[in-house]
């Protein structure tokens, strides 16, 4: 286990507990260890923290009152959404002196406006419910990720979530029109507007996108909706090398610009894990290939099939299957959405969430393989990701015969090898998962010093007492 390592002095936390409990009422708090447990650990159990109290406010006013109370007593706050984050940003530290503010009871869809093509949701709305509300109005909210049944829209803002439809619609940053947030002094920033154009001053809402709870608590979000893309065709492609995926993507985009919604790369190893650990998972091909791509396209089936036949004739892909029914589509996507869970069941692995320019994917993979062979030959790469965004989850497992005593050292060496390469190639050590606690050191080491200094200045200006999610990001 890794301690979040930012124990702040208890600084009066016990003294404000009665006030905090009174703000939210009986339904809005717990200190019951059994109820707290799932909120104190990140989902792979790598970081476990403590808290004297978890608050579940149900209004923005309650959030503001909580923050004011904590600010006066200089008590730290950790905002938490669905706790599906990959970097332990939503977990309190080990001091037992940080108040956990879980947003799940702020769960109202405040408005869906068809003319504006916008939706206003409170921060604790589960992403899948936001998507359903858009759908019920005949529109489409494109953010899609495997955790959408439990992550919250406020968490999606706070992490600038990506997922499978970034290729066509962008990340959360591109989808936010406005937001409401409680600042570290307890004041409410009401920026909850659905304007498409607004150049009146700094674009403050964007400051909160990707801020991981360090600048304030997001309480509501206004997002863009899109026309329903219509029936989707789902296909899985089999490839001999990953570079072929980039070429296939370029070819398909030429033929169906704006109609390609998802284009996901899956290596042979993550596919093996899924087939091994996920009940009823089945390889749609008779053979095991080195690489697979799973795609969604909003085109008639015949158009996709003809494009895939051409790709096969040009030997850009080795094989392809197109789902013929909703059940087949679901089965193909289940393979993709089960990868994280299958990795977890496979055993301890080292996760990375890197990005490089899309055209450099093959060069990155070749160089990464070479470096791992030279520096950590005990590692087996487990690669999948959002190839159309240049974002790979370049994960690795160490061979089972590696002695326990060597795991930490080899894991660190492996991560260094990957991050050095990414940095040399002008890429990012965090494409969509954020920094939280787990990548804080890496950001310090590989981040741009001028950018880091500007981030610290912003943090100090908005949160001079350092009460908002301290110890995370910077
Ligand atoms: P949490 O985990 O609760 O919090 C994440 C961070 O945001 C923390 O720092 C927390 O303090 C802060 N925060 C949460 N809510 C608020 C708020 N209201 N105000 C201020 N700060 C807040 N991510 C992707 O981008 N793409 C993927 O494809 C993807 N796939 C995933 C698949 C699985 C199986 C899992 C488990 C996770 C995946 N994730 C993915 C990561 C995760 O789902 C996203 O980061 C998501 O946006 C986190 O939302 P959450 O509500 O769970 O946030
Ligand atoms: C995904 O793309 O499935 C995720 O970002 C989750 C992960 O990396 O495990
Ligand atoms: Zn991802």
In the block, residue with structure tokens 């332990």: 88
pLDDT greater than 50 at residue 77: yes
| Over residues 419-445, mean pLDDT | 98
Percent of the chain with pLDDT over 70: 98
With a Cβ cut-off of 6 Å, ligand 2 is lined by 146, 339-340, 393
Ligand 1 atom 22 nearest Cα? 213
pLDDT greater than 70 at residue 4: no
The answer to which of 62-66, 133-137, 202-206, 400-404 has the lowest mean pLDDT is 400-404
Residues shown for the chain: 474
Question: Sign of torsion, CA 435 128 25 67?
Answer: positive
Per-residue model confidence (pLDDT) at position 441 = 97
Instruction: Give all strands of the β-sheet with 391-398 in edge-to-edge order.
Output: 319-322, 233-239, 291-297, 260-267, 379-386, 391-398, 354-355
pLDDT digits (tens, 9 = 90+) for 25-35: 999 999 999 99
Nearest-angstrom CA–CA distance, 101 and 436: 16
Local confidence band at 6 (pLDDT 50, 70, 90 cut-offs): very low
pLDDT digits (tens, 9 = 90+) for 256-283: 989 999 999 999 999 999 999 999 999 9
DSSP-assigned beta bridge partners for residue 262 = 296
Ligand 3 centroid–CA 365 distance in Å is 17
| Over residues 324-349, mean pLDDT | 96
pLDDT greater than 50 at residue 433: yes
pLDDT greater than 50 at residue 248: yes
Nearest-angstrom CA–CA distance, 182 and 55: 15
Closest by CA position to 152, among listed 102, 210, 87, 81: 81
Ligand 1 atom 38 nearest Cα? 147
| Over residues 33-53, mean pLDDT | 96
Nearest ligand, CA of residue 393? 2
Q: At what angle are helices 268-277 and 339-346 packed, to 10 degrees?
A: 80
pLDDT greater than 70 at residue 10: no
- Among 103, 105, 141, 155, which residue has the most ligand 1 atoms within 8 Å of its CB, making it the best to mutate? 155
Nearest-angstrom CA–CA distance, 176 and 103: 19
| Over residues 111-115, mean pLDDT | 98
Ligand 1 centroid–CA 209 distance in Å is 12
Residue 347: CB atoms within 10 Å: 10
Local confidence band at 5 (pLDDT 50, 70, 90 cut-offs): very low
Per-residue model confidence (pLDDT) at position 347 = 86
State which H helix or E strand residue 374 sits in: helix 361-375
Ligand 2 atom 7 nearest Cα? 340
Nearest ligand, CA of residue 383? 2
Ligand 1 atom 21 nearest Cα? 213
Closest by CA position to 176, among listed 132, 120, 227, 124: 120
- Among 145, 293, 352, which residue has the most ligand 2 atoms within 8 Å of its CB, making it the best to mutate? 145
Enumerate residues 6+ apart whose C-beta is below 8 A from 208. Answer: 157, 158, 179, 181, 215, 216, 218
Per-residue model confidence (pLDDT) at position 155 = 98
**Higher-confidence position of 348 and 190:** 190
pLDDT greater than 90 at residue 7: no
pLDDT greater than 90 at residue 8: no
Whole-prediction pTM: 0.96
| Over residues 391-410, mean pLDDT | 94
Closest by CA position to 335, among listed 391, 268, 283, 380: 283
Pairing of strands 391-398, 354-355: antiparallel
Q: Of ligand 1's atoms, which has the minimum distance to the CA of residue 158? A: 7
Percent of the chain with pLDDT over 90: 96
Residue 365 DSSP one-character state: H
Ligand 2 centroid–CA 166 distance in Å is 13
| Over residues 295-320, mean pLDDT | 97
Ligand 2 centroid–CA 162 distance in Å is 10
Ligand 2 atom 9 nearest Cα? 340
Ligand 2 centroid–CA 222 distance in Å is 25
pLDDT greater than 90 at residue 344: yes
Closest by CA position to 391, among listed 235, 264, 247: 264
**For 327, how many CA atoms within 13 A lie in the half-sphere containing its CB?**
1
With a Cβ cut-off of 6 Å, ligand 1 is lined by 43, 78-86, 89-90, 103, 123, 145-147, 151-152, 154-156, 158-159, 161-163, 212-213, 217-218, 340, 432-433, 436, 469, 472
- Among 122, 161, 352, which residue has the most ligand 1 atoms within 8 Å of its CB, making it the best to mutate? 161
In the block, residue with structure tokens 């791992």: 372
Ligand 3 centroid–CA 146 distance in Å is 8
Pairing of strands 109-113, 118-122: antiparallel
Nearest-angstrom CA–CA distance, 166 and 183: 29
pLDDT digits (tens, 9 = 90+) for 192-215: 999 999 999 999 999 999 999 999
**For 245, how many CA atoms within 13 A lie in the half-sphere containing its CB?**
33
| Over residues 311-319, mean pLDDT | 95
pLDDT greater than 70 at residue 141: yes
Local confidence band at 235 (pLDDT 50, 70, 90 cut-offs): very high
């Amino acid at each position: 286990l890794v301690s979040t390592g930012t124990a702040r002095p208890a600084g009066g936390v016990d003294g404000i507990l009665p006030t905090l409990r009174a703000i939210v009422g009986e339904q809005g708090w717990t200190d019951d260890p059994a109820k707290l447990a799932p909120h104190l650990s990140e989902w792979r159990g790598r970081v476990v923290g403590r808290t004297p109290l978890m608050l579940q406010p149900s209004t923005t006013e309650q959030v503001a009152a909580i923050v004011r109370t904590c600010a006066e007593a200089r008590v730290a706050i950790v905002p938490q959404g669905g706790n599906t984050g990959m970097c332990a940003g939503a977990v309190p530290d080990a001091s037992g002196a940080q108040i956990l503010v879980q947003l799940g009871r702020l769960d109202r869809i405040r408005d869906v406006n068809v003319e504006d093509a916008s939706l206003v949701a409170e921060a604790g709305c589960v992403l899948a419910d936001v998507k359903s509300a858009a759908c019920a109005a005949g529109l489409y909210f494109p953010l899609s990720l495997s955790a959408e049944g439990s992550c919250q829209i406020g968490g999606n803002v706070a992490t600038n979530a990506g997922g499978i439809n970034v290729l066509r619609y962008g990340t959360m940053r591109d989808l936010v029109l406005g937001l409401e947030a409680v600042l570290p002094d307890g004041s409410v920033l009401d920026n909850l507007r659905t304007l498409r154009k607004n150049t009146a001053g700094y674009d403050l809402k964007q400051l909160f996108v990707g801020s991981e709870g360090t600048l304030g608590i997001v309480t509501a979000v206004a997002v863009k909706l899109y026309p329903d893309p219509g029936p989707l065709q789902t296909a899985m492609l089999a490839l001999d090398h990953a570079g072929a995926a980039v070429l296939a993507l370029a070819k398909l985009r030429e033929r169906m610009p704006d109609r390609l919604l998802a284009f996901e790369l899956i290596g042979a190893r993550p596919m093996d894990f899924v087939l091994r650990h996920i009940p009823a998972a089945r390889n749609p091909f008779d053979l095991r290939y080195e690489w697979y791509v799973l795609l969604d396209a909003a085109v008639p089936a015949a158009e996709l099939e003809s494009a895939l036949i051409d790709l096969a004739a040009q030997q850009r892909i080795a094989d392809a299957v197109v789902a013929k029914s909703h059940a087949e589509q679901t089965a193909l996507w289940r393979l993709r959405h089960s990868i994280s869970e299958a990795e977890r069941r496979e055993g301890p692995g080292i996760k990375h969430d890197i990005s490089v320019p899309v055209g450099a994917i093959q060069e990155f993979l070749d160089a990464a393989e070479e470096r791992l062979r030279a520096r950590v030959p005990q590692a087996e790469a487990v690669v999948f990701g959002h190839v159309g965004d240049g974002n790979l989850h370049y994960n690795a497992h160490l061979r089972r015969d590696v002695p326990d005593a060597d795991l930490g050292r080899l894991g660190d060496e492996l991560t260094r090898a990957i991050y050095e390469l990414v940095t040399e190639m002008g890429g990012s050590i965090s494409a969509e998962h954020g920094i939280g606690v787990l990548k804080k050191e890496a950001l310090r080491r590989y981040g741009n010093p001028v950018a880091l200094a500007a981030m610290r200045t912003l943090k100090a200006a908005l949160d001079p007492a350092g009460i908002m999610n301290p110890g995370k990001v910077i």
